[in-house]
């Protein structure tokens, strides 16, 4: 968990490794699939329901 004051760069700090991994820069975690989900998204049932997560199940089972 990353804690910090409002607008201190927490989200930017956490998105940086996901972007580097996705862009395959310097082979940074090139064998990983970056997924960035905020706690707000997890708490909002309408935005993140089972239908929206089915693509992950499909991705990993095929």
Return the pLDDT at 5: 92
Q: Find the farthest-apart pair of alpha carbons in the chain and give their distance in angstroms, rounded.
A: 42
HEC letters along 11-25: HHHHHHHHHHHHHCH
Return the pLDDT at 44: 63
- 2-57 pLDDT, tens digit per residue, is 888 989 998 888 888 878 777 776 676 667 777 777 766 666 655 556 666 676 67
Return the pLDDT at 30: 66
Return the pLDDT at 8: 94
Return the pLDDT at 55: 67
Return the pLDDT at 50: 63
CA distance 53 to 59: 10
């Amino acid at each position: 968990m990353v804690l910090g004051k409002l607008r201190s760069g927490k989200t930017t700090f956490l998105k940086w490794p996901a972007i580097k991994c996705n862009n395959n820069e310097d082979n940074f975690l090139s064998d990983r699939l970056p997924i960035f989900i905020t706690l707000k998204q997890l708490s909002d049932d309408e935005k993140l329901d089972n239908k929206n997560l089915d693509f992950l199940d499909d991705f990993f089972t095929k």
